[in-house]
A and B are shown apart, each in its own frame.
Chain A
Amino acid sequence: MNHPPPVSLAMIYALFFRIGLFSFGGQLSSWIHREVVLVRGWMTNDEFLSGMALSQILPGVNSTNTAIFVGQRLRGGWGATAAIVAMLSGPFFAAILAAIFYKWIIGWEATQSIMEGVAAVALGMLARLGITAGRGAAKGVTPAVAMLATFIGVGVMRWPMLGVVAVIAPISVIVCYLQGRGHEG
């Protein structure tokens, strides 16, 4: 799997445009994972997740970074450009519409309830991605420890994410290297 399947720029644009426009409630990374890994098989699970980790470490919005990573992997510079422009263009106009009608939307009582429902579903999608990623990590002792240590450090102890990752990631990578594990995931 050293070469990604042939994917046209139009396919990249169409996919990310749809993801951007329809991803109510946020958590876009779980949408991207679903479409790119589960439905289309453009990337392996490990490929996607390592890109997602990179996207979270780098500055910027995680989901757009992930889109750039996927686009770059599939079609280089133009792929990355197509992915980010597509993913932002729908929400851009939706945001302007929302800005125009915001007094009306805010004034409607049910808005808050509907938003809560949408946010809960989006979070459920993220939880699904977490379970998928966790299952992959639970296949060996090293990845399981790395996952748990990251969760305890960042999630439970609330230490700065960059510091925690700077300690755990190199250890995890070096152990993987020594064990010579490829990406069988």
Chain B
Amino acid sequence: MKDENIYLALVTILAPLSIAAIGGATGIYAPLQHETVELRQWMTSREFIDLFAISRLAPGPGSMLAPIIGWNVAGFGGALLATVALYLPSSLLCFGAARVWNRYRGTPWHRAIEAGLSPVAAGLIFSGILGLLRLGQTGPLSWFTVVLVAGLLMWRPKLHPLLLIGCGALAFFLLHVVAP
């Protein structure tokens, strides 16, 4: 399976996805599956789904699926290359935009854009939450947890996230043991 061009293939698959992924990482899964499973047959569909599940288990941005696939097809170099290919193009673009944006700080238009974009961000955050709710994979217990955590954090904003995540993991684990 391993040949010289596998690195090149990783780059040519992931670099365009970096720029095409508008609206977050969720957009890259379908094309990534198409390329790695159907076109190049690096893995079976089942393996892809397993790797996807694993990538969600690991900490960090959801798109850590890229290094996992890179690791599976070409080892450490593949993982590194896959990560760089997926992140570098969009990062450079974002850096350029941030630089232009911050250069005009203090001007009336900059203040207007900042004040005008904040509510759009709020609308996008709520849309994201609704989108996850729509997936329908989460049960009533999950929704209770979402409300509980949000309420706790409104009350105590500096409560440490790791503590909450640990409690959430433990609670769901115990429930699994008690009532599988």
Instruction: Give residues in A with beta carbon < 8 Å to B.
Output: 2, 20-26, 28, 30-31, 34, 38-39, 45-47, 49-65, 68-69, 72-73, 76-77, 80, 84, 87-88, 90-92, 94-99, 102, 105-106, 109-111, 113-131, 133-134, 136-137, 142-144, 146-151, 153-156, 161-162, 165, 168-169, 172-177, 180-183, 185
Is B9 an interface position by the 8 A CB rule?
Answer: no
Q: B22, B72, B143, B152: which has the most chain A beta carbons within 10 Å? A: B22
Q: Assess whether B125 is in contact with A169, with CB atoms less than 8 Å apart.
A: no
Q: Assess whether A185 is in contact with B115, with CB atoms less than 8 Å apart.
A: yes
Q: A94, A99, A151: which has the most chain B beta carbons within 10 Å? A: A99
Q: How near does chain A come to B76, taking the closest CB pair, in angstroms?
A: 7
Q: How near does chain B come to A179, taking the closest CB pair, in angstroms?
A: 8
Q: Assess whether A172 is in contact with B60, with CB atoms less than 8 Å apart.
A: no
Q: Assess whether A120 is in contact with B149, with CB atoms less than 8 Å apart.
A: yes
Across the two chains, which residue of chain B brings its CB closest to A65? B94
Q: Assess whether A161 is in contact with B23, with CB atoms less than 8 Å apart.
A: yes
Q: B64, B68, B115, B154: which has the most chain A beta carbons within 10 Å? A: B115
Q: How near does chain B come to A85, taking the closest CB pair, in angstroms?
A: 10
- From known contacts A146-B123, A147-B123, A148-B123, infer whether A60 and B130 are also in contact, taking CB-CB under 8 Å: no
Q: How near does chain B come to A63, taking the closest CB pair, in angstroms?
A: 5
- Of the A-B pairs whose beta carbons lie under 8 Å apart in the complex, a sample of 23, sorted by A's number, is A26-B56, A46-B114, A52-B121, A56-B23, A59-B21, A64-B87, A94-B58, A99-B79, A117-B145, A118-B169, A127-B149, A130-B126, A130-B129, A133-B119, A147-B123, A150-B120, A154-B123, A161-B124, A172-B116, A174-B112, A181-B115, A182-B115, A183-B111
Q: Assess whether B119 is in contact with A146, with CB atoms less than 8 Å apart.
A: yes
Q: Assess whether A92 is in contact with B122, with CB atoms less than 8 Å apart.
A: no
Q: A30, A84, A147, A165: which has the most chain B beta carbons within 10 Å? A: A147
Q: Report chain B residues within 8 Å CB of A92.
A: 60, 64, 67, 79-80, 83
Q: Report chain B residues within 8 Å CB of A69.
A: 94, 98, 101
Q: Label chain A's interface by main secondary structure.
A: helix
Q: Report chain B residues within 8 Å CB of A136.
A: 118-119, 122
Q: Assess whether B120 is in contact with A168, with CB atoms less than 8 Å apart.
A: yes
Q: B50, B72, B87, B131: which contacts A60 (Cβ < 8 A)?
A: B87
Q: Assess whether B125 is in contact with A129, with CB atoms less than 8 Å apart.
A: yes
Q: Report chain A residues within 8 Å CB of B117.
A: 49-50, 53-54, 169, 172-173
Q: Assess whether A50 is in contact with B118, with CB atoms less than 8 Å apart.
A: yes
Q: B62, B93, B98, B106: which contacts A26 (Cβ < 8 A)?
A: B62
Q: Assess whether B132 is in contact with A110, with CB atoms less than 8 Å apart.
A: no
Give the complex CA separation of A74 and B158 in angstroms: 22
